[in-house]
Amino acid sequence: MNAARKLICLDGATLYGAVDQAWEAFAAEGIEIVVYDRTPPGEVAARLAGADYALTNKTPITAATIAACPGLKYIGVLATGYNIVDTSAAAAAGVAVTNVPAYSTSSVAQTAIALLLALAQQVETYGRLDSQGRWSACPDFHYRLSSWHELAGKTFGVVGFGNTGRATAAIAAALGMKVAVATSKDAASLPEGYRKTDVDELFATCDVISLHCPLTPDTASMVDASRLATMRPGAMLINTARGQLVDEQALAAALNEGRIAGAGLDVLCQEPPQADNPLLSAPHCIVTPHMAWSSAEARQRLTEEAAENFHAFLRGERRNTVAG
């Protein structure tokens, strides 16, 4: 009798935890599924020893791990970005690697706009003050911390115009905002009324700048002190893409000095961040814990797509393959 083949998930807690029913979509005859909530870097190779297939979200699978696991045939990345896998080493070893594109488009777009609205109307601050009795002690029927402004008629700048950039811009347009886009795409391919521009002009002219571009050598720290200095005093920055797009010290300085109106960030350079990260205490800065991708609907789509990638591989097919 042949031994069961093994599918090892290295970090199931990022999706559901080691809950049996959550992983039933990956079930296949003759395959044993083992789910770990988390795997420390030093234990990856040991846990994948003897495995035929692996699933990972944020746990790195390095060239050394691939070399130490000659039986490994498949790595399914439970995310869109797949830089946590050494794809060159995987391809050289004949290991297929798949990812799951575009599963969280609506969730990320919703989060970007939620951050914008929370900043624009100081929702968090008013809610906290009122729970502490500020409104109850007010002599009038209302109070204002400061003037706030409608988004309608303001310009929403999008850096990167893939699925999430396009979806976020559409919501901004529905709010009555004008849309400017910094993209390599041809201007004729943009929706009617959208204006194509370059990154420098976008930072200098837009009221809101929302980042939706990938992290590359060209985009790393693109939001630096010089670009922040060109932003309008009332402008706001939204980042739901990659933390490394932003020079965090420079952004914290701009916020502390009141040179821009606010920032809404779902991603940071180091995750989880150090407690002394300057953005965690900067004024008019909302930081959420890399949660934009993780709505219940997005996680369900992610699971279904990742499972279909795996079953396609078992059938000898290639689906969303990025290596091998």
pLDDT of residue 146: 87
pLDDT of residue 137: 96
Q: Are 212 and 240 contacting, i.e. CB atoms less than 8 angstroms apart?
A: yes
Rounded Cα–Cα distance for residues 93 and 312 (Å): 20
Residue 270: band (very low, low, confident or very high) from pLDDT cuts 50, 70, 90: very high
Rounded Cα–Cα distance for residues 235 and 11 (Å): 38
Q: Is 299 helix (H, G, I), strand (E, B) or coil?
A: helix
Listed in sequence order, the residues at least 6 apart from 10 whose beta carbon sits closer than 8 Å to its beta carbon are: 36, 38, 39, 44, 47, 48, 54, 55, 56, 57, 59, 61
Residue 138 has pLDDT above 90, yes or no: yes
Rounded Cα–Cα distance for residues 193 and 172 (Å): 13
Question: Domains, the chain, ranges and CATH?
Answer: 5-101+296-323 (3.40.50.720), 105-287 (3.40.50.720)
Residue 2 has pLDDT above 70, yes or no: no
Could you report the per-residue pLDDT of 17-63, keeping only the tens digit for each?
A: 656 667 999 999 999 999 999 999 999 999 999 999 999 999 999 99
Could you report the per-residue pLDDT of 176-187, keeping only the tens digit for each?
A: 999 999 999 999
pLDDT of residue 14: 87
Percent of the chain with pLDDT over 90: 93
* 31: Cα separation from own chain's centroid: 32
Tokens of 316: 């000898």
Rounded Cα–Cα distance for residues 300 and 304 (Å): 6
Tokens of 296: 């219940």
Average pLDDT score, the chain: 95
* 200: Cα separation from own chain's centroid: 23
Could you report the per-residue pLDDT of 236-257, keeping only the tens digit for each?
A: 999 999 999 999 999 999 999 9
Q: Are 244 and 269 contacting, i.e. CB atoms less than 8 angstroms apart?
A: yes
Could you report the per-residue pLDDT of 184-220, keeping only the tens digit for each?
A: 999 999 999 999 999 999 999 999 999 999 999 999 9
- What separation in angstroms does the CA of 111 have from each of 116, 172, 241, 247? 9, 12, 11, 21
Could you report the per-residue pLDDT of 62-121, keeping only the tens digit for each?
A: 999 999 999 999 999 999 989 999 999 999 999 999 999 999 999 999 999 999 999 999
Which value, to the nearest 10 degrees, does the dihedral of the CA atoms of residues 166, 167, 170, 174 take? -170
pLDDT of residue 22: 78
Angle between helices 296-314 and 105-121 (to 10 degrees): 160
Residue 276: band (very low, low, confident or very high) from pLDDT cuts 50, 70, 90: very high
Rg (CA), the chain: 23
Residue 1 has pLDDT above 90, yes or no: no
pLDDT of residue 324: 84
pLDDT of residue 261: 96
Q: Which residue has the tokens 């991603």?
A: 267
Strands, E, within 162-277: which ranges?
A: 178-182, 195-197, 208-211, 236-239, 262-265
Tokens of 64: 């050394």
Residue 144 has pLDDT above 80, yes or no: yes
* Enzyme catalytic residues: 242, 271, 290
pLDDT of residue 111: 98
- What separation in angstroms does the CA of 146 have from each of 120, 125, 229, 258, 259? 11, 11, 23, 14, 16
Neighbours of 185 (CB within 10 A): 14
Residue 290 has pLDDT above 60, yes or no: yes
- What separation in angstroms does the CA of 315 have from each of 25, 28, 54, 311? 15, 11, 17, 6
Percent of the chain with pLDDT over 70: 98
Listed in sequence order, the residues at least 6 apart from 262 whose beta carbon sits closer than 8 Å to its beta carbon are: 119, 236, 237, 255, 284, 285, 286
Q: Are 293 and 107 contacting, i.e. CB atoms less than 8 angstroms apart?
A: yes
